[in-house]
Amino acid sequence: MRSRFYSKILALGMAVPPKVLTNFDLEKMVETSDEWITERTGIKERHLLEKEEVISTYAVKAAKEAIERANLSPHDINLIIAATLTPDYLMPSLSILVQKEIQAEKAGAFDLSATCSGFLYALVVADQFVRNNPDWKVLVIGAEALSRKTNWEDRSTCVLFGDGAGAAIVSSSEEESGILDFILGADGSNWHLLTLKGGGSTYFPFDERLPKEEYYIKMQGREVFKIAVRMMEKIALELLRRNGLSSKDLALLIPHQANLRIIEYLRERLELPKEKVFVNIHKYGNTSAASIPIALYEAAKEGLLKRGDYLLMVSFGGGFTFAGVLMRW
Ligand code: COA
């Protein structure tokens, strides 16, 4: 039986490194052009960590902002879930580093790995905890430093990614609002189309069986593109259908920011006007698990979400993973 409680997002935070890499900078690094990148992806620039920086710095900044905006103290946080593929270390986890830094002394903490769908997966996990423990406050983070896993000699991938972090505080609500429904999906049958093999337990560090480029993200972009558009559309339509809604009821769609053409395709399939689909890919590129919380933060800040509005968030990522969350703001 469903708990009588719903979970809602109390507040948001975000942080990106100040360093910006533009398409014109990339023109000097690989054989590409601002025109190609803009036309094929919609990306104009992305924020990247400096060599000596770590992504936990930005996860902590985003977390602190979200806690402050929620008028809470770190002591109020019961659980920290950090969605990431690129923690500072494999051990300790990113969530533990955040826990230490913000001094959330009563919080449990774990990382969640679901690639670019990580934030929505983590939001759904938080939803389960909060509905069953209505006095809990869960800090959900999406933070990623894909620049560290990017092959800067591979023009087909290095133009795509950026670094950053977003955070949300999830708490309970007795009103029928907040997270109304979700879909979490996975399909491993095409896992080989998007991989990051080095750094797992199959190949030990500096294993000469593994070519150097396998320590970076490898992708068959065109194939990934086709799967992404198909699955995002399927999830979006299914969530609307089973909640008796049509796309006209949506105030805003926030899709994972991987490629503007994927977003445009989805917009057309859902017959949504441009102003109802949030896009910030031109500023940040694909920040993986950080993409949706950063977009949500900016959408809320721009006043695009009003109380009672229907919001749909959809994502896809390596694996493949898929996720959709339907909310009433
Ligand atoms: N600059 C200039 N040319 C480039 C280039 C670059 N940065 N990257 C690739 N090209 C070239 C290719 O070599 C190819 O040349 P060819 O026709 O001479 O062989 C041509 O552009 C077309 O390549 P293709 O890979 O078919 O382009 P595309 O239109 O599919 O766009 C992506 C490539 C990666 C932008 C696109 O496939 C994509 O976004 N896929 C989804 C990726 C994604 O979202 N991944 C993240 C999952 S979370």
What residues are annotated to the active site?
116, 256, 286
> Measured in angstroms, how far is the CA atom of residue 152 from the centroid of ligand 1?
15
The closest residue, in CA terms, to atom 36 on ligand 1 is 221
pTM of the complete model: 0.97
Q: Residue 314: inside a domain, yes or no? A: yes
18 vs 38: CA distance, rounded Å? 21
Amino acid identity, residue 34?
A: D
Helix (H, G, I), strand (E, B) or coil at 59: helix
The closest residue, in CA terms, to atom 9 on ligand 1 is 156
287 vs 162: CA distance, rounded Å? 5
Residue where a domain stops, chosen among 175, 195, 222: 175
In testing the pocket of ligand 1, which one of 21, 119, 156 has its CB within 8 Å of the most ligand atoms?
A: 156
CATH of the domain at 247: 3.40.47.10
* Beta bridge pairs of residue 184: 323
Angle formed at CA 286 by CA 283 and CA 290, multiple of 5 degrees:
95
- Give the end-to-end CA distance of the chain in Å, rounded to a whole number: 24
pLDDT class for 1, splitting at 50, 70, 90?
low
How high does pLDDT run on average in the chain? 96
> Tokens standing for 92?
């300790």
Same domain, 144 and 284: no
What pLDDT, on the 0 to 100 scale, is given for residue 290? 98
Same domain, 137 and 168: yes
Enclosing domain of residue 126: 6-175
Please say if the pLDDT value at position 37 is more than 70: yes
Same domain, 86 and 13: yes
Domain count, the chain: 2
160 vs 45: CA distance, rounded Å? 9
Please say if the pLDDT value at position 145 is more than 80: yes
3-state helix, strand, coil in the chain (%, to 5): 40, 25, 35
Please say if the pLDDT value at position 3 is more than 80: no
223 vs 130: CA distance, rounded Å? 38
* Beta bridge pairs of residue 22: 45
In testing the pocket of ligand 1, which one of 158, 225, 230, 286 has its CB within 8 Å of the most ligand atoms?
A: 225
Q: Residue 202: inside a domain, yes or no? A: yes
Same domain, 153 and 216: no
The answer to whether 317 and 288 are in contact (CB under 8 A) is yes
The closest residue, in CA terms, to atom 20 on ligand 1 is 156
Residues 6 or more apart from 208 whose CB is under 8 A from it? none
Query: Per-residue pLDDT averaged across 70-93, rounded?
Result: 97
pLDDT class for 70, splitting at 50, 70, 90?
very high
Same domain, 233 and 252: yes
Q: Residue 1: inside a domain, yes or no? A: no
Which helix or strand (DSSP H or E) is residue 124 part of?
A: helix 118-132
> Measured in angstroms, how far is the CA atom of residue 29 from the centroid of ligand 1?
17
Q: Residue 120: inside a domain, yes or no? A: yes
> Tokens standing for 170?
């999830």
The answer to whether 10 and 65 are in contact (CB under 8 A) is no
Position of tokens 């994972």? 256
> Measured in angstroms, how far is the CA atom of residue 249 from the centroid of ligand 1?
34
pLDDT class for 2, splitting at 50, 70, 90?
low
Residues 6 or more apart from 74 whose CB is under 8 A from it? 67, 102, 103, 104, 105, 107
Same domain, 197 and 165: no
Same domain, 193 and 319: yes
Please say if the pLDDT value at position 206 is more than 80: no
> What is the side-by-side order of every strand in the sheet holding 178-186?
178-186, 321-328, 310-317, 250-255
Residues 269-304 pLDDT 10s? 999 999 999 999 999 999 999 999 999 999 999 999
> Tokens standing for 242?
């089973």
What pLDDT, on the 0 to 100 scale, is given for residue 159? 98
Where does residue 209 rank: exposed (0-12), middle (13-18), buried (19+ CB within 10 A)?
exposed
121 vs 117: CA distance, rounded Å? 6
> Measured in angstroms, how far is the CA atom of residue 26 from the centroid of ligand 1?
15
The closest residue, in CA terms, to atom 14 on ligand 1 is 156
Report how far Cα 252 is from the mean position of its chain's Cα atoms: 17
The closest residue, in CA terms, to atom 27 on ligand 1 is 222
Q: List, chain by chain if needed, residues with CB within 6 Å of any ligand 1 atom.
A: 32, 36-37, 40-41, 116, 155-156, 159, 194, 219, 221-222, 224-225, 228, 258-259, 286, 317
Same domain, 169 and 20: yes
Query: Per-residue pLDDT averaged across 89-95, rounded?
Result: 96
205 vs 262: CA distance, rounded Å? 35
Which helix or strand (DSSP H or E) is residue 250 part of?
A: strand 250-255
The answer to whether 114 and 317 are in contact (CB under 8 A) is yes
In testing the pocket of ligand 1, which one of 222, 229, 230 has its CB within 8 Å of the most ligand atoms?
A: 222
